[in-house]
Structure 1
Amino acid sequence: MKTITIIDTFGFFFRSYFALPPLRNSEGFPTGLLTGFVNLVDTLHRDHATDYLVFALDSKGPTFRNEIYPEYKANREAPPEDLTKQLPVAIRWIEQMGFANLSKEGFEADDVITTVTKFAREQDLKVRIVSHDKDLYQLIDDARVVMYDSIKRKEVDEAACIEKFGVRPEDFVDFQAIVGDSSDNVPGVKGIGVKGAAKLINMFHTLENIYANIEKAGTPRIQKLLLEGKESAFLSRELVRMRDDVYTDLDLSQFIFEDKNYLSCLADEFEKYEMKRALQKAKNGENGEGGDKAVKPVTQPKKPTLAFEAVTLDTREKLESVIGTFDKETMVAFDTETTGLDTKKAGMVGFSFCTSADKAYYVPVGHNYLGVEDQVSETDAVAAIKKLMQCKVIGQNLKFDLSLLYNRYGLDEVVPYADTMIMAWLSDPGSKVGLDALAQKFFKYEMKPFKEMVKKGEDFSAVAIPEATFYAAEDAWMTYLLYGVVKKKMELGSLTHLLKEAQNVEYPFINVLIRMEQLGIKVDQNRLHMLQKQLSEALAALTEEIYALAGTEFNIRSTQQLGVVLFQQLGLKGGKKTKTGYSTNEAVLQSLKGEHPIIAKILAYREYQKMLSTYVEPLLKLAKKDEKSRIYTSFLQTGTATGRLSSKDPNLQNIPVRSELGREVRSAFVAKEGYRLVSIDYSQIELRLLAHFSRDAALLEAFRTGVDIHMATAVKLFGEEEAKAKRNFAKSVNFGLLYGMGPKKLSGELGISQAEAKEIITNYFASFPTVKSFLEGIQERVKADGYVETILGRRRLFDYENANGMQKAAFMRESVNTVFQGSAADLIKLSMNQIDSMIQDEKLDAFMLLQIHDELIFEIKKEKVEEISRRFVHIMENVYELNVPLECSVSIGESWGELK
């Protein structure tokens, strides 16, 4: 059977543009899309993969769908400028090579493709459609019509359609009519997701059958949604159904794909755009040589290598000659080299910058070794950096560089144009976002390791300037390249809204975090000394008690020795022996509570030892280093997949909040003289988000009327009489379901049987029916789309298709968790930005010190504490409009331990 290949022209060009690095010629004209196009034509020629070839284009102006529904595709953003520059060139090349380029006014490329497919099938041709548009899944017919993924180079058939969407291709139009398509602004039936739509379609197949049997169409809620969305469903079907009558007649013989080098006619064009490999492909076979010999260098290409020129600017004159032409529209990748990682103390050794893909510069400032070469003075360097900061500055982890410049050199605050680490994190928050990892991921490029540059015990100032130039310039150069390729990736993944979120939220947030890191929080050294003594004495006493109960002395911290004592000498049951000995982890010890008095003592010993070694002693050591007894943590903006901030060196977010010892440690954190510490905490934020997203009537009512949500849940689950006694059960269920808690986990938490736990969960979903369908909808989206989104549209990706059973179960839990925890993180980040702006604009005598997930800790002047706290609460409660009110709790005290 002969094959006809139909290319969704714009769809392919978009995909090609985003799939390749940001290639350009010497004049800066982008060539990535053109390179992808040349590769496709060359592949078809060499593989003899088709007998006929057609390009299908969208027509200019509105189509018949806009007449049916004026809002159709109204939300589409304009394509990137680099892409639109290349499109006319590529379309001209299609015509120069003699390929058919079909379009018709009033129709879309999909309609052209559908019409060509109809004629091809009538002539018994196999149809291969090069497109990623899911609308075209309705055409799939195994062995006769397939989709083709030009990037993965594989065909998409009926089995792939069923696996991805749960429906057969012949039912796809009616399926889409229910699901809708947000990218094309096709409304569908609101409230019914992929899984629910697939279930309906597999049962009834058509909209007509669904509405003829509406009383059998799912739950009462689904029936209600279908009835409310009936008009929308039928309208949506008209929008998504492809037309096959664009042409009344079509002679496919004019589309024959010959066994010749179609690229040869474009040699001059490839010269013009400096596309050397394309030029090589165009010249293959020109001299009558055999095809195989001619294309061998192309079929086995050498691994492409990236290269750039690293230039040292070691005088003020050289530096000014380069940056003198820069203006506010110049895009500059910027990086600093320093004597250390503490930006309150480190000095600048030099800085690098890059404005093009082939050259980067290093400015040495503070190198210090015998015979050191010329350098730029610190004064001139700072003046140059101030000028660079007026450009469109991009960087990788700019929080570090800006913190250094603010702390040590007094530069005015700037909001960066872009940060590639944040961009990479937004595009895939579960991946590594360090510069080395990103260079490897996107360019297969190995960055020069820091450890090869700096000897042990030395810092960067000891590195020779010639070697330092390449290392430092490489960072700026790679950052410049990464900006282009990560931006493309985000645009390809329909993440342009996150580029805006980065500009509006994440980049300003960098300065908020820098300020918090500079401020630190005061510690009472006397309290820590007292706690250190108390814990040391308690550990000594516990040690003697454990020895007495064991009947022998041993190393309590050794898990191997402890295992022998518990399971061999004392003969406790349930010990599982591993290759390294018996397991004595927390879960094992908790399961043995009550079996022997020694267990409680060991658990207490471990708690005291952890508090002493993890918190008290390290905090005391840090406090002694600072003249104000303040401790400075570092906040990681890209440290979690959900979007929550994390804290390190030291981690102040993990001090146990429920234990008495944890509260004692927190009591050592105090306000400076004349001030008070204030905690403002979002109340039940994730449950409020559940009510907001699910729109469950019972939850909405509970939050709108201000009743105790856990009591309201208890009443629903257990009735009025038992509600008070079982409020904690209801609380565990309320929060547990947000984290994917099943019957096994709930039974362990509540100390009940799994059967009882399962019944409680069943009753919960019966009481809050919309919650269940919403949570299931989140999980459906992971299976169908491979991601979930937070309230600000941040995405977390899940490779569900390639996961094993255990990973899939984890993805189901993590996806639900991400929606709520990630959305809560969004809201508190918005609040922090607004509060920080208020503090700076009004020069308030108040300071934001810490963020502990849903809680903010402030240091506020004693006389102003209540007034300013009220204003901060107002911001937090009104930062984003939900379907339920946001509420905060406020606590004021002299120490952190007194709060809440």
Structure 2
Amino acid sequence: MKTLTIIDTFGFLFRSYFALPPLKNREGFPTGLLTGFAKLIMQLHRDYPNDYLVFALDSKEENFRKSIDPFYKANRPEAPEDLKLQLEVAITWVEQMGFKNISIAGYEADDVIASINKCANALEVNVRIISHDKDLYQLIDGDTFLFDPKSKQEIREEQCIEKYGVTPSQFIDYQSIVGDSADNVPGIKGIGAKGATNLLKSYGSLDNIYQNLDSITPMRTQMLLKKTREDAYRSRQLVRLRDDLLDSFNLQDCKMPRVSPLLNIIESLQEYEIHSVLKKLPIKEKGGKREVSSHFHYQAILVENSTMLKNLMAQITPDSIVSFDTETTDLDVLCAKIVGFSFSFDGINAYYAPIAHNYLGAPEQISKELALTFITALFNAKMVIGHNIKYDLEILRTNFNFTPKSYHNIKDSMLLAWLYQSDMPCNLDDLMHRYFKHTMIAFKDIIKKGENFSQLPIESAFTYACEDAAACYQLFHKINALLLESLKEIANNVEFPFIQCLVNMELSGTKINIEYFKNLKTEMAEKLQALSCEIYTLANKRFNLNSPQQLSIVLFEELNLQSGKKTKSGLSTNSSVLNSIKDAHPIIPKVLEYRELFKLYSTYIEPLIELASQDATHKVYTSFMQTGTSTGRLSSKNPNLQNIPVKTQQGRRIREGFIAQDGHLLLSLDYSQIELRLLAHFSKDSAMIEAFYKEADIHLETAKKIFGETQAKEKRSVAKSINFGLIYGMGARKLSETLQISYQEAKTYIQNYFESFPTVKDFLKEQEEFILQNGYSLTLLGRMRKFNFQNIQDFQKAAFLREGINAIFQGSAADIIKLAMIQITQEKLESKLLLQVHDELIFEAPKHLAEIEAQKITQIMENITTLRVPLRCGVSLAKNWGELKG
């Protein structure tokens, strides 16, 4: 039977304070109580790793017992200052370690304990109470006992009778008679502990004593009872604990973590120099500091038959924490076949169940039917951990048509690692080396070239597969112990639930008009050919237009154009260089046009035709990467559908080839100027806020503020460049290049802007100071973008500050649209979400529901969070993507 430990937070620590030596750290801060508390947590984690733990705390509001007797606890002395200092730290530790510390307004910790105890017993859970308070003896029964952690003695009914001479069920009446001078509980003056015990042995209860009052001897006792009857019953009201204060209790919130909870407070333990605890934790010294130990080991176990898998399935409970990984024939989920899966219940013992290894002499394996039954049971566990588990979920959908009943229990070590350090690689090999100094078995070392996992002998496959399951289990818990609570909240409330959105989006796919693209291919090929001929004529020679080196020779040596920056392979011909000299020679605009066209031709038109031809419904399926950027924005690959140009004619023509299925329309919802709205929200600028509430043209309003009414329309584009430039950390030099004006003029524009919007300047300056001081910037939800400013040059420092400012806005916009997508997914609309292109969502909606569902989605997007300005969406319906008004 499971056991819940309840700690009487203040009561236990108060008594412990007087029992422990008065230790102090080098700065003179008292640490005796903290040392004892940390040792208690270490002991409980060591002795009861599979149990549950919760803390109960007195409320700060006036105790309800004061209404029964205003003198209740009136004589309590003030707590010593050393105790109060340590108590504050200890209570903070409870939260930092991830435990619940429950208090209920107007009630004491003992009442909270009694109420938790009642709920736990109803759930068929034993209760271990750690407290020195004798009031809690009244709770002892077959399922509940008190516990002395120092002697490790359980205090049950036998010990209660031995100490007080009464049973726990008589303890309330016992206290009603003897009273409690420390708490000002009067009891019956003149009758002590021995007299109370004798009375209860004879009559059983306080009520029975008074019902038989006339027969009680000696007469003195009878007279005392008669005289203080009111005190006795008032005392009973004071000592009886309330057990009806909780309607429900979530036991799973109290699960003891697998790794020591003390790892979450290492820095605090170091600060208070609690070395007796630190040296027993799995941490090591590095550079004078302690860090979490990097040891990794696991046991690989092959699931040899169905019976073994069924026995393992019996171990899965609603409280299980499991890791899960699939092995397949391909990285492309649409054509990949599952070969087997691995899992672990503890991060040490990892199992591999082979399903479809296919080679000469391959043994009989687990059937797909049993595999599905096991996987279904596995996903009912309390927590299912994967590394890039989105891939595994898509494999289960495409191979088994399996979708978890709920995504609330699905976790991902890759996403945790990315939240912790968003600018570092998040693949499992790199992370295991970074956090455990462990080198994973390389795929290329076990798979022959041209073969896939199904051709790998099972005896070689299972160790490799098991390593993945053990690694992501241990990695998840390692990083979770390092993560701030705010980032854990983002993981649990945003990033983990967001996986469901991506799985649905990626497997929906987007239909394209394949004939349209074939015609576009022919047209573009002809245009590219014509442009090539024009360029060769202007150059007086034929050369490889796609070779930067050959183009550099033609432009800068043969045509003697002004050269730009030099690279290893010669003078640069990148876009910025060519744009800066585009008026120098007619060849430059032609080269730029050729490049744009060739990029679209090779990046989109040819690949899209090939991909759509492989699909019976002519759909293409992009893959969205949750960890592809350091700001929180999604990125897209294979094919990248987020980077199709929207402002060029050729880019729009490619978008026109993306169409809705028969009977459907494409629906676009695009957040209007979300990053500028965030600038108004963060800076609290009254002019900006007013403009957004009036639904005014923010760029025109900005132009009015900077340049005055008469020049506003003419200068609107300048204002727009400044508005967006500030969000991207743009300075005067970049603005001068963008607007093709002098540096001094650009500098004047920015100065005028800041004079017009002083709160914006103050906000940006405050954020730069915050980033420099703390080494990170924060988004709306608290997502961090970290920077290391140690030993860097000024230009790197300036770049970091630009990135940090940009991350605030871009990251906050990403936060908002993710929250909206999660809510939309939970609504289960008929419209299918196909694509997310930064601030825009594109759906495929049934024609007859398109406008209705557009309104529902708009409501969600515009109300998903509350800013100082309203969120607004642009809505558009069309048969193809190019016709949507973005």
Same fold (TM over 0.5): yes
**Contact map agreement 2:325 2:341 (CA 8 A) in 1:** yes
Q: CA deviation at 1:27?
A: 7.5
| Structure 2: gaps (5+ residues) | 1-23, 52-78, 102-127, 132-146, 152-264
Q: CA deviation at 1:566?
A: 1.4
- Find the partner of 1:469 among 462, 466, 474: 462
Q: CA deviation at 1:797?
A: 1.1
Q: CA deviation at 1:387?
A: 0.9
- Find the partner of 1:331 among 317, 321, 337: 321
Aligned to 1:367: 357
- Find the partner of 1:704 among 679, 687, 693: 693
Aligned to 1:837: 826
Aligned to 1:394: 385
Q: What's the secondary structure of 2:352's corresponding residue?
A: strand
Aligned to 2:402: 411
**Contact map agreement 1:849 1:859 (CA 8 A) in 2:** yes
Aligned to 2:531: 542
**Contact map agreement 1:781 1:788 (CA 8 A) in 2:** yes
**Contact map agreement 2:819 2:864 (CA 8 A) in 1:** yes
Q: What's the secondary structure of 1:669's corresponding residue?
A: coil
- Residue 311 of structure 2 aligns to which amino acid in structure 1? S
Alignment of 1:633-652 (within 5 A): 633-652=622-641
**Contact map agreement 1:669 1:896 (CA 8 A) in 2:** yes
Alignment of 1:415-454 (within 5 A): 415=407, 416-454=409-447
Alignment of 1:102-251 (within 5 A): none
Q: What's the secondary structure of 1:641's corresponding residue?
A: coil
Q: What's the secondary structure of 1:723's corresponding residue?
A: coil
**Contact map agreement 1:344 1:408 (CA 8 A) in 2:** no
Question: What CA distance in whole angstroms lies between the structure 1 residues aligned with 2:789 and 2:294?
Answer: 32
Q: What's the secondary structure of 1:332's corresponding residue?
A: strand
C-alpha distance 665-10 of structure 1, shift in aligned 2 (>3 A)? farther
Q: CA deviation at 1:24?
A: 8.4
Question: What CA distance in whole angstroms lies between the structure 2 residues aligned with 1:423 and 1:435?
Answer: 12
Deviations 1:528-569 (A, max 9, x none): 111111111111111111111111222222222212211222
Aligned to 2:659: 670
C-alpha distance 371-668 of structure 1, shift in aligned 2 (>3 A)? same
Aligned to 1:608: 597
Deviations 1:277-327 (A, max 9, x none): 99xx9xxxxxxxxxxxxxxxxx9xxx9753221111121111122231220
Q: Indicate whether 1:659 and 2:648 are aligned.
A: yes
Aligned to 1:865: 850
Question: What CA distance in whole angstroms lies between the structure 1 residues aligned with 2:431 and 2:272?
Answer: 25
Q: What's the secondary structure of 1:848's corresponding residue?
A: strand
- Residue 391 of structure 2 aligns to which amino acid in structure 1? F
TM-score normalized by the length of structure 2:
0.70
Deviations 1:163-195 (A, max 9, x none): xxxxxxxxxxxxxxxxxxxxxxxxxxxxxxxxx
**Contact map agreement 1:668 1:896 (CA 8 A) in 2:** yes
**Contact map agreement 1:664 1:897 (CA 8 A) in 2:** yes
- Residue 458 of structure 1 aligns to which amino acid in structure 2? E
Q: CA deviation at 1:77?
A: 6.6
- Residue 837 of structure 1 aligns to which amino acid in structure 2? Q
Question: What CA distance in whole angstroms lies between the structure 2 residues aligned with 1:511 and 1:11?
Answer: 48
**Contact map agreement 1:343 1:403 (CA 8 A) in 2:** yes
- Find the partner of 2:96 among 61, 79, 89: 79
Question: What CA distance in whole angstroms lies between the structure 1 residues aligned with 2:603 and 2:80?
Answer: 63
Aligned to 2:185: none
Q: CA deviation at 1:577?
A: 4.7
Question: What CA distance in whole angstroms lies between the structure 2 residues aligned with 1:537 and 1:276?
Answer: 67
- Residue 404 of structure 1 aligns to which amino acid in structure 2? I
Question: What CA distance in whole angstroms lies between the structure 1 residues aligned with 2:359 and 2:848?
Answer: 54
| Structure 1: gaps (5+ residues) | 31-56, 67-71, 94-129, 135-146, 152-261, 282-298
Q: CA deviation at 1:636?
A: 0.7
- Residue 355 of structure 1 aligns to which amino acid in structure 2? F
Aligned to 1:799: 788
Aligned to 1:351: 341
C-alpha distance 697-65 of structure 1, shift in aligned 2 (>3 A)? farther
C-alpha distance 489-132 of structure 1, shift in aligned 2 (>3 A)? closer
Q: What's the secondary structure of 1:722's corresponding residue?
A: coil
Identity of aligned residues (%): 44
Q: Which has the larger radius of gyration?
A: 2
Question: What CA distance in whole angstroms lies between the structure 2 residues aligned with 1:304 and 1:420?
Answer: 16
- Find the partner of 1:311 among 301, 318, 324: 301
**Greater Cα shift, 720-729 or 797-806:** 797-806
Q: What's the secondary structure of 1:373's corresponding residue?
A: coil
Q: Indicate whether 1:852 and 2:844 are aligned.
A: no
Deviations 1:782-817 (A, max 9, x none): 111111111111111111234332221111101110
Aligned to 2:56: none
**Contact map agreement 1:7 1:131 (CA 8 A) in 2:** no
Aligned to 2:607: 618
**Contact map agreement 2:347 2:469 (CA 8 A) in 1:** no
Question: What CA distance in whole angstroms lies between the structure 1 residues aligned with 2:323 and 2:266?
Answer: 35
Instruction: Count residues in correspondence.
Output: 667
C-alpha distance 479-597 of structure 1, shift in aligned 2 (>3 A)? same
Question: What CA distance in whole angstroms lies between the structure 1 residues aligned with 2:320 and 2:488?
Answer: 19
**Contact map agreement 1:710 1:728 (CA 8 A) in 2:** yes
C-alpha distance 684-524 of structure 1, shift in aligned 2 (>3 A)? same
- Find the partner of 2:449 among 456, 466, 489: 456
Q: CA deviation at 1:22?
A: 15
C-alpha distance 304-685 of structure 1, shift in aligned 2 (>3 A)? closer
Question: What CA distance in whole angstroms lies between the structure 2 residues aligned with 1:657 and 1:677?
Answer: 16
C-alpha distance 577-321 of structure 1, shift in aligned 2 (>3 A)? closer
Deviations 1:569-593 (A, max 9, x none): 2122235554422221111211111
Task: Output the aligned Cα RMSD.
Answer: 3.8
Q: What's the secondary structure of 2:95's corresponding residue?
A: coil
Q: CA deviation at 1:441?
A: 1.1
Q: What's the secondary structure of 2:832's corresponding residue?
A: strand
C-alpha distance 661-276 of structure 1, shift in aligned 2 (>3 A)? closer
Aligned to 2:771: 782
Q: CA deviation at 1:496?
A: 1.2
Q: What's the secondary structure of 2:96's corresponding residue?
A: coil
Aligned to 2:676: 687
- Find the partner of 1:893 among 861, 866, 878: 878
Q: CA deviation at 1:62?
A: 5.2
**Contact map agreement 2:31 2:272 (CA 8 A) in 1:** no
Q: CA deviation at 1:865?
A: 1.5
Aligned to 2:740: 751
